[in-house]
Amino acid sequence: MNWDEVIGQQEAKARLMQTAGEERIPHAILLCGPAGSGKMAMALAFASQLLNDSPMLRQWAHPDLHFVYPVIRPAGTSSDHKMISDDFLKEWRELLMQGPYFTMDQWLTQMNAANQQAQIGAGESDDLIRKLSLKSSQGGYKVCICWQPERMNAECANKILKLLEEPPAHTVFLLVSEEPERLLETIRSRVQRIDLKRIDDQAIEEALVGRRGIDPDTARRIARVANGNWLKALETLEPDNESLQFLDMFKMLMRFAYMRNVKDLKKWSEAVAAFGREKQKRMLGYFLQMVRENFMYNFRIADLSYMTNDEEAFAKNFARFINEANVVEIAELFQRVQRDIAQNANAKIEFYDMALQMIVLLIRK
Render pLDDT for 291-317 as a digit per residue (tens, 0 to 9).
999 999 998 876 667 788 788 899 999
Q: Where are the alpha helices (DSSP H) in the chain?
A: 10-21, 39-50, 89-97, 104-110, 122-132, 154-165, 185-188, 201-212, 216-226, 230-235, 242-258, 262-273, 277-297, 309-318, 327-342, 347-362
Nearest to 28 by CA among 155, 185, 145, 179: 145
Rounded distance between C-alpha atoms, residue 231 and residue 228, angstroms: 9
- In the prediction, which pLDDT does 302 show? 64
- In the prediction, which pLDDT does 21 show? 83
Nearest to 95 by CA among 32, 173, 147: 147
Question: Who contacts 129 (Cβ-Cβ below 8 Å, separation ≥6)?
Answer: 159, 163
Sheet holding 171-177, edge to edge: 65-68, 142-147, 171-177, 28-32, 192-195
Rounded distance between C-alpha atoms, residue 29 and residue 43, angstroms: 9
Rounded distance between C-alpha atoms, residue 254 and residue 258, angstroms: 6
Does residue 54 sit in helix, strand or coil? coil
Rg of the chain (C-alpha set)? 22
* Type of residue found at 296: M
Rounded distance between C-alpha atoms, residue 170 and residue 141, angstroms: 5
CA of 299: how far to CAs of 15, 302, 314, 361, in Å?
A: 41, 9, 16, 21
Rounded distance between C-alpha atoms, residue 209 and residue 262, angstroms: 46
User: Cα angle vertex 334, ends 327, 337, to 5°?
Assistant: 150
- In the prediction, which pLDDT does 255 show? 96
194 membership: H or E segment, kind and range: strand 192-195
Record the pTM: 0.74
The 10 Å CB-count burial string (b at 16+, else e) for 22-61 is: eeebebbbbbbbebbbbbbbbbbbbbbbbbeeeeebeebe
Give me the mean pLDDT over the 253-277 stretch. 95
DSSP state letters, 199-223: PPHHHHHHHHHHHH---HHHHHHHH
Render pLDDT for 46-65 as a digit per residue (tens, 0 to 9).
999 999 888 888 899 999 99
Does residue 1 sit in helix, strand or coil? coil
Render pLDDT for 115-159 as a digit per residue (tens, 0 to 9).
788 999 999 999 999 999 988 888 889 999 999 999 999 999 999
Which pLDDT band, with edges at 50, 70 and 90, does 235 fall under? confident
Rounded distance between C-alpha atoms, residue 36 and residue 32, angstroms: 11
